[in-house]
């Protein structure tokens, strides 16, 4: 299944089924190495050394994105709510965007929803929707190949 992303006014919602258990998806969103592996999607890379994570409400995670032309942009997010392994809520102070990451068990994997609220007008575009969908596709690829995140335990 591929990711789908839809714009609704100042909100962007993306969903994807992932063939990984919720704990592995959670680890991907909270591990610096994993964030670096998928966050840029198809439109940017994230240098692993640029990612920092302080997984506590009121604290932040940061990363640099590097576009194909070499332009680098520093991103900073502040955690509002952390409910392992089911939900992360964080704000991007520079834009005001609030992102909720929801992780639910589904069949033999995980249903992931990314809900971004308060998008500024310049980010209410099909390009932004495509970018978020590409990040979820990169996450699926990362989870398929990564052995550093916790593996599914067989009974």
pLDDT, one tens digit per residue, over 53-85 is 999 999 999 999 999 999 999 999 999 999 999
The pLDDT-based confidence of 3 (bands split at 50, 70, 90) is confident
Residue 151 lies in a domain: no
Burial (CB < 10 A; 0-12, 13-18, 19+), residue 51, is buried
pLDDT, one tens digit per residue, over 85-103 is 999 999 999 999 999 999 9
Residue 154 lies in a domain: no
Residue 152 lies in a domain: no
What is the domain-level CATH number for residue 104?
3.30.530.20
Residue 145: the pLDDT is: 87
Q: How many domains does the chain have?
A: 1
**Is residue 2 over pLDDT 90?**
no
């Amino acid at each position: 299944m591929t990711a789908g992303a839809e714009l609704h006014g100042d909100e962007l919602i993306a969903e994807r089924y992932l063939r990984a258990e919720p704990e592995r998806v959670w680890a991907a969103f909270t591990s610096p190495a994993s964030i670096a592996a998928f966050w840029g999607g198809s439109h940017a890379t994230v240098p692993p050394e640029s990612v920092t994570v302080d997984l506590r409400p009121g604290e932040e995670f940061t990363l640099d994105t590097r576009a194909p032309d070499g332009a680098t942009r520093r991103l900073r997010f502040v955690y509002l709510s952390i409910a392992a392994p089911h939900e992360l809520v964080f704000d991007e102070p520079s834009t005001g965007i609030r992102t909720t990451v929801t992780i639910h068990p589904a069949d033999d994997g995980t249903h992931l929803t990314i809900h971004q609220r308060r998008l500024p007008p310049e980010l209410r575009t099909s390009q932004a929707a495509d970018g978020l969908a590409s990040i979820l596709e990169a996450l699926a690829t990362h989870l398929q190949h990564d052995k550093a995140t916790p593996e599914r335990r067989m009974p």
